[in-house]
Copies of this chain bind each other. A is one copy, B any other.
Amino acid sequence: MFLCHMPERSFSYQQLFDFTQSVFKKIGCSDEHADTATKALLSADLRGIDSHGIARLSGYIRLWEVKRVNAIPDIKIIHETPSTAVVDGDSGLGLVVAPFAMKIAIEKAKQVGTGWVSVQNSNHFGIAAHHAMMALEHDMIGMAMTNASPLVAPTFSIDKMLGTNPICVAAPAGNEPAFVADLATTTAANGKLEILQRKNKETPVGWVQDAEGNSSTDANVLKKGGALLPLGGDREHGSNKGYALGAIVDIFSALLSGANYAPWVPPFPAYVPMPAQQPGKGIGHFLGAMRIDAFRPADDFKQHMDNWIKGFRNARPIAGQEKVLVPGDPEREFETERMKNGISLLQQVTEDLKVLALKFELPSL
């Protein structure tokens, strides 16, 4: 038995929940905020987006340590109309600010059909799907976007000008599970590069470029001045479209709200210096909710969504593939499996959590 060399250890969702919640309380979060933040953070681990879950907990805490995250934010609406609002997150955890904003979007949708909330002065919000999916139980379509620190070079650019800027749309169905599309507007997210780095493998062509803007397959290229590429990879394969989508997310999240944008978005790692120029406050999000019955009866919509989903599931798969998937399928399968069998964490992550336990005098996981 060489336990100390085991690369992964498995924990129940409840174990991770209790630990994470305790950490957020230790930095001063209210019970309610700690609960909200923990649910948002761990939804990533449940859904198989390991790069955005508890693996980032120590990163959030470091942002609190350098006073970039405010654990007791006064989150508030600073401007509104019947269908819109701008929220100032007061430097709170995005994990708390985004659900606050999404609730406002849902309330406005109840009143006037749709609600749209742009957020300034926030921080990383975890996975977009968690927030968008809040709309589902209200028979609404939910949307969530966020900008992020610049890792992506637009088409023809050497410079990194955009974040991975994800878009999520969640739409309810009837007997079928909900449609949930959650996508970074890059060919590959940073988490996929990290997996290749650990395996010492190269990336496919079209994921990254080097510091001079040449096509590269070096999974470590971001540390050497390289960049992620927009969805499409290069101009010939439509990277101008991935670039445009990332730009739309930036405009909705930050230009509408007054947050920082483009290359001036604050970095997630606390040790990376803040950009010299700051045209806005913190990072920006955009949350939306559309009440289905503001368009047609919800039951009609859901029945047709079931028909739509079944149509795609019944499409003929290409040789070597078992079936055609509907957006949200892989994440839902992860969630079912991990809720039942637990969540495996890499040794590096559990070591990070041990350090947090020591720091905050909590029982180690």
List residues of chain B with CB within 8 A of the CB of A250.
308
A317 and B112 contact, CB distance less than 8 A: no
A161 CA to B263 CA in the complex, in Å? 38
A327 CA to B169 CA in the complex, in Å? 23
B116 and A290 contact, CB distance less than 8 A: yes
Q: Which of A53-61, A228-236, A333-341 contacts B (4 or more CB under 8 A)?
A: A228-236
B-facing mask of A252-268, CB < 8 A → 1, else 0?
10011110011100000
For the complex, count residues of A whose C-beta is within 8 A of B. 88
A328 CA to B141 CA in the complex, in Å? 29
Known interface pairs A256-B295, A262-B308, A316-B157; A237-B248 also in contact (CB < 8 Å): no
Q: Which of A83, A263, A291, A315 has the most CB of B within 10 A?
A: A83
List residues of chain B with CB within 8 A of the CB of A301.
255-256
B-facing mask of A230-251, CB < 8 A → 1, else 0?
0111001110111111011011
List residues of chain B with CB within 8 A of the CB of A321.
156
A233 and B244 contact, CB distance less than 8 A: no
* CB of A238, distance to nearest CB on chain B (Å): 5
A294 and B255 contact, CB distance less than 8 A: no
A113 and B82 contact, CB distance less than 8 A: yes
A71 CA to B154 CA in the complex, in Å? 43
A231 and B238 contact, CB distance less than 8 A: yes
List residues of chain B with CB within 8 A of the CB of A240.
183, 325, 327
A311 CA to B154 CA in the complex, in Å? 12
Q: Which of A156, A241, A248, A251 has the most CB of B within 10 A?
A: A241
B324 and A157 contact, CB distance less than 8 A: yes
B-facing mask of A132-163, CB < 8 A → 1, else 0?
00000000010000000000001111110100
Known interface pairs A232-B231, A241-B183, A319-B213; A295-B257 also in contact (CB < 8 Å): yes
Decide yes or no whether A171 CB sits under 8 A from chain B: yes
A256 and B292 contact, CB distance less than 8 A: yes
Residue of B nearest to A300 (CB): B258
Decide yes or no whether A125 CB sits under 8 A from chain B: no
Residue of B nearest to A169 (CB): B248
A181 and B312 contact, CB distance less than 8 A: no
A255 and B155 contact, CB distance less than 8 A: no
Decide yes or no whether A73 CB sits under 8 A from chain B: no
A236 CA to B192 CA in the complex, in Å? 11
A selection of 11 A-B contacts at a CB cut-off of 8 Å is: A83-B114, A84-B114, A86-B296, A158-B317, A161-B324, A181-B244, A231-B238, A232-B232, A244-B327, A255-B301, A256-B295
